[in-house]
């Protein structure tokens, strides 16, 4: 698309240009269909100075092809990698919601902190997406060694439907391998790198775990962890990897949550979590033990409360790191700016009396000024007169963060309390809503100077379904719902299960026994199913002709053939001897498979050992 005014790029209809970054231009687009239907997508068009590098484009193509084969609920899908003339572009999933970067910035202007349970759930979902990436294997079963390399708040989106998605996978890895240092391309990314990443060492999955730990620390505290004034200073801070104590900054953080974050942020990667699944499992335990009433729908309620309702699809803008989304005005911080006396900053020259300029000393000026003063004074008198004819509605609202509309205008509550001035004799419609609660609606008409106190306690709406959390120890097991394989491994959330049905939940991990449970879900409930997997035990049966040969293991005679070893650990290796008078000694080594019975038969040969 050499000309930006063209309306199509390949098979995609360009709707509007969203942003322009150092690496790409971002477009909102739609798939074209002969019937006139199509879905919204996001197109990232690689800029010409990037596209001209053949090595970079080669790696980009390989990575995008690999990422396009991924299908996971916590990874934004890459649909296509296209080329029109000399223009390369990537087509990605359209996600409506907010990036963690946008949420972080919004709460910089708010007096309250982001709820802990919301953040724990979001990072637990990020861990599930990372585990899926890290555990990918080729057709021969060899690990692909995939590392995202760019896990940052700008690359995690939280949707209005409570989904959490990692974006820009593939592009980030290909770019990381290239030696681009152009201004703007890596801007803002150094602060989320691991110590081994800033040193240029070989990376593995534990680098992404370190980045996830940075995100969780910053989102909980509202502060930057390693970010300094310059990139060089930031890199130096990351190399030291000194992490301030969380509970000194935010006292309501559970101690075991701080322990999780410190393990993820350990300078020595050998002492970090070995896998994202392990970190995700520990985060899920935080929800179960400290926030037992948490439900995933609360994430949607959180976005609704602080960022407003989900936009209509026709007006929706794709959420990408480069995209600036207009958000609702936020209330001022609790601490006001200090006002200093005007004289405190004046110099001696400033204190010299000044004369009015000639224009202001003319009589006409003072006549006009006097007239304006009278007009302003009368306006205040009139407003005060009408104020005397007003009443007041005083609301105490539960939940305290409910949304209040007075005659269609949104009002902010202060800790659940709201005072609304109302003109006497005029009906006023008040609507109070909160996600997950039945709305309150009423019309009030007040007398002159009447003050009416209203207690509003919204009733929680009980949905006709429930959610299920399935956790296993160890994590990473395949989950089956009514004998159908689920698309994520443990720990995993299975949402919206019908309350009127029993479900069979199966869990399987190679080397462990298959476990199955039958559960029922209560309306609005979040049911947590914890399953401790049992290792499969193996058996080894040894027979000989003739029978009666002595079986010796580690110098100890165990008994004559036929002899059976039971309750063997999976992949356990045994070396044993068979001896029988008048026959040659037989020596053998065998590895036992978990859950299997191995049979060995020996034809003994006559002779003397």
Q: What percent of the chain has pLDDT over 70?
A: 78
The span from the CA of 487 to the CA of 41, in Å, is 23
Q: What pLDDT does 344 receive?
A: 33
Is residue 212 scored above 90 in pLDDT? yes
What average pLDDT is seen over the chain?
Answer: 79
Segment 52-77 shows an average pLDDT of 75
> What CATH fold (topology level) applies to the domain 465-532?
Immunoglobulin-like (2.60.40)
Query: Same CATH fold, 538-603 and 465-532?
Result: yes
Least confident of 276-280, 420-424, 522-526, 550-554: 522-526
Q: What pLDDT does 378 receive?
A: 52
H/E run at residue 48: helix 48-51
Task: Give yes or no for a cis peptide into 399 (omega within 30° of 0).
Answer: yes
pLDDT in tens, 336-359: 333 333 333 333 333 334 445 555
379 alpha carbon, distance to own chain's centre: 53
- 213 compared with 335, residue with greater pLDDT: 213
- Using alpha carbons only, give the angle 382, 387, 388 rounded to the nearest 5 degrees: 105
Per-residue pLDDT band at 172 (split at 50, 70, 90): very low
Tokens of 498: 């019908």
Tokens of 370: 């006097």
**Burial class of residue 178 (count of CB atoms within 10 Å of its CB; 0-12, 13-18, 19+):** middle
pLDDT in tens, 569-578: 777 788 899 9
Is residue 265 scored above 80 in pLDDT? yes
Is residue 593 scored above 60 in pLDDT? yes
CA nearest neighbour of 209 among 140, 123, 285, 301: 123
Per-residue pLDDT band at 188 (split at 50, 70, 90): very low
The span from the CA of 551 to the CA of 578, in Å, is 5
Tokens of 119: 């953040």
Q: What pLDDT does 195 receive?
A: 93
Q: If DSSP codes are grouped into helix, strand and coil, which group holds residue 124?
A: helix
Q: What pLDDT does 257 receive?
A: 96
- 536 compared with 324, residue with greater pLDDT: 536
Highest mean pLDDT among 24-33, 60-69, 499-508, 520-529: 499-508
Least confident of 19-23, 443-447, 541-545, 561-565: 19-23
Per-residue pLDDT band at 547 (split at 50, 70, 90): very high
CA nearest neighbour of 23 among 223, 199, 239, 176: 176
- 481 compared with 64, residue with greater pLDDT: 481
Segment 538-565 shows an average pLDDT of 91
Show the 3-state SS of 420-464.
EEEECCCCEEEEEECCCECCEEEEECCCCCCEEEEEEECCECCCC
pLDDT in tens, 285-329: 999 899 988 988 899 889 988 887 655 443 433 333 333 333 334
Per-residue pLDDT band at 269 (split at 50, 70, 90): very high
The number of beta carbons lying within 10 Å of the beta carbon of residue 234 is 21
Q: Which CATH superfamily is domain 538-603 in?
A: Carboxypeptidase-like, regulatory domain (2.60.40.1120)
Least confident of 37-41, 76-80, 117-121, 415-419: 37-41
Contact 564, 541 (CB under 8 A): yes
**HSE value, Cβ hemisphere, 13 Å, CA-based, for 13:** 11
- 447 compared with 325, residue with greater pLDDT: 447
The span from the CA of 194 to the CA of 240, in Å, is 11
The span from the CA of 95 to the CA of 80, in Å, is 16
Is residue 123 scored above 90 in pLDDT? yes
Q: What pLDDT does 77 receive?
A: 83
The number of beta carbons lying within 10 Å of the beta carbon of residue 511 is 14
Strand partners, 485: 480
Strand 403-406's sheet: what is its strand order? Answer: 409-411, 403-406, 428-433, 440-444
Q: What pLDDT does 42 receive?
A: 86
Per-residue pLDDT band at 379 (split at 50, 70, 90): low
Q: What is the DSSP letter of 530?
A: E
368-384 exposure pattern, b = at least 16 Cβ within 10 A, e = fewer: eeeeeeeeeeeeeeeee
Segment 356-368 shows an average pLDDT of 56
CA distances to 357, 363, 377, 582 from 366, rounded to whole Å, are 13, 5, 16, 134
The span from the CA of 404 to the CA of 419, in Å, is 11
Q: If DSSP codes are grouped into helix, strand and coil, which group holds residue 82?
A: strand
223 alpha carbon, distance to own chain's centre: 18
Segment 120-124 shows an average pLDDT of 95
Tokens of 588: 């053998």
Per-residue pLDDT band at 385 (split at 50, 70, 90): very low
Least confident of 35-44, 371-380, 520-529, 546-555: 371-380
Using only C-alpha atoms, the chain has a radius of gyration, in whole angstroms, of 34
Q: What pLDDT does 134 receive?
A: 87
Q: What pLDDT does 156 receive?
A: 93
- 419 compared with 318, residue with greater pLDDT: 419
Tokens of 493: 């959330």
The DSSP annotation for 560-575 comes to: ESSEEEEEEPTT-EEE
Crossing angle for the helix pair 116-134 and 276-290, to the nearest 10 degrees: 160
Per-residue pLDDT band at 522 (split at 50, 70, 90): confident
463 alpha carbon, distance to own chain's centre: 24
Segment 531-536 shows an average pLDDT of 85
Is residue 120 scored above 90 in pLDDT? yes
The number of beta carbons lying within 10 Å of the beta carbon of residue 115 is 16
The span from the CA of 462 to the CA of 447, in Å, is 38
CA distances to 38, 88, 484, 524 from 95, rounded to whole Å, are 15, 22, 27, 26
CATH assignment, 98-315: 1.10.510.10
Q: What percent of the chain has pLDDT over 90?
A: 31
Segment 273-290 shows an average pLDDT of 92
- Using alpha carbons only, give the angle 38, 44, 45 rounded to the nearest 5 degrees: 110
Contact 379, 410 (CB under 8 A): no
Q: What pLDDT does 364 receive?
A: 61
Task: Give yes or no for a cis peptide into 197 (omega within 30° of 0).
Answer: no
The span from the CA of 172 to the CA of 160, in Å, is 25
Q: If DSSP codes are grouped into helix, strand and coil, which group holds residue 160?
A: coil
Is 389-457 CATH 3.90.1520.10? Answer: no
CA nearest neighbour of 56 among 142, 232, 141, 179: 179
Contact 60, 120 (CB under 8 A): no
Q: What pLDDT does 456 receive?
A: 93
Backbone angles phi, psi at 523, to 5 degrees: -55, 130
Locate the domains of the chain by residue range: 98-315, 359-388, 389-457, 465-532, 538-603
Strand partners, 441: 431
Q: What pLDDT does 15 receive?
A: 85
Q: 465-473 and 526-532: which strand pairing?
A: parallel
């Amino acid at each position: 698309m050499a000309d930006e005014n063209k309306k199509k790029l390949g098979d995609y209809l360009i709707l509007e240009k969203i942003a322009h970054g150092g690496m790409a231009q971002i477009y909102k687009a739609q798939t074209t269909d002969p019937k006139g239907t199509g879905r919204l997508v996001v197109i990232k068009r690689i800029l010409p100075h990037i596209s001209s590098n053949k090595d970079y484009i080669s790696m980009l193509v390989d990575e995008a092809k690999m990422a396009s084969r991924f299908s996971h609920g916590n990874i934004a899908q890459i649909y296509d990698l296209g080329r029109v003339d000399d223009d390369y572009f990537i087509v990605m999933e359209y996600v409506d919601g907010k990036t963690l970067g946008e949420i972080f910035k919004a709460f910089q202007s708010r007096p309250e902190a982001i709820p802990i349970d919301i953040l724990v759930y979001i990072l637990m979902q990020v861990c599930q997406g990372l585990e899926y990436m890290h555990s990918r294997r080729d057709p021969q079963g060899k690990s692909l060694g995939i590392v995202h390399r760019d896990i940052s708040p700008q690359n995690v989106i939280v949707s209005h439907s409570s989904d959490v998605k990692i974006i820009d996978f593939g592009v980030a890895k290909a770019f990381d391998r290239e030696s681009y240092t152009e201004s703007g391309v890596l801007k803002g990314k150094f602060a989320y790198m691991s110590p081994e990443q800033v040193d240029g060492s070989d990376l593995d999955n534990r680098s992404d775990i370190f980045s996830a730990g940075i995100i969780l620390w910053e989102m909980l505290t509202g502060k930057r962890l390693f970010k300094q004034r310059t990139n060089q200073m930031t890199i130096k801070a990351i190399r030291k990897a000194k992490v301030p104590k969380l509970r000194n900054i935010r006292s309501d953080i559970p101690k075991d949550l701080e322990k999780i974050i410190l393990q993820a942020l350990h300078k020595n990667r050998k002492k970090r979590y070995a896998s994202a699944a392990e970190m995700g499992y520990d985060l899920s335990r935080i929800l179960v033990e400290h926030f037992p009433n948490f439900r995933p729908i609360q994430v949607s309620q959180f976005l609704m409360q602080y960022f407003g309702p989900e936009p209509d699809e026709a007006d929706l803008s794709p959420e990408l790191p480069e995209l600036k989304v207009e958000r609702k005005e936020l209330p001022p911080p609790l601490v006001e700016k200090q006002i200093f006396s005007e004289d405190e900053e004046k110099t001696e020259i400033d204190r010299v009396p000044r004369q009015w300029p000639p224009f202001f000393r003319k009589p006409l000026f003072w006549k006009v000024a006097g007239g304006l003063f009278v007009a302003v004074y009368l306006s205040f008198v009139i407003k005060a007169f009408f104020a005397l004819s007003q009443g007041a509605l005083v609301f105490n609202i539960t939940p305290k963060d409910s949304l209040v509309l007075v005659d269609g205008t949104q009002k902010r509550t202060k800790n659940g309390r709201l005072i609304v001035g109302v003109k006497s004799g005029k009906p006023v419609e008040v609507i109070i809503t909160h996600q997950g609660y039945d709305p309150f609606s009423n019309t009030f008409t007040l007398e002159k100077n009447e003050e009416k106190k209203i207690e509003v306690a919204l009733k929680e709406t009980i949905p006709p379904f429930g959610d299920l959390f399935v956790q296993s120890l160890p994590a990473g097991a395949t989950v089956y719902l009514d004998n159908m394989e689920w698309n994520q491994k443990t720990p995993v959330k299975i949402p919206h299960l019908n309350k009127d049905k029993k479900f069979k939940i199966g869990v399987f991990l190679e080397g462990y026994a298959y476990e199955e449970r039958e559960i029922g879900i209560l309306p609005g409930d979040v049911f947590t199913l914890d399953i401790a997997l049992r290792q499969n035990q193996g058996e080894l049966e040894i027979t000989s002709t003739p029978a009666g040969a002595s079986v010796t293991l580690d110098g100890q005679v165990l008994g004559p053939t036929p002899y059976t070893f039971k309750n063997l650990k999976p992949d356990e290796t045994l070396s044993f001897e068979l001896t029988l008078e008048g026959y040659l000694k037989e020596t053998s080594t065998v590895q036992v498979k978990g859950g299997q019975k191995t049979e060995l038969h020996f034809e003994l040969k006559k002779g003397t050992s």
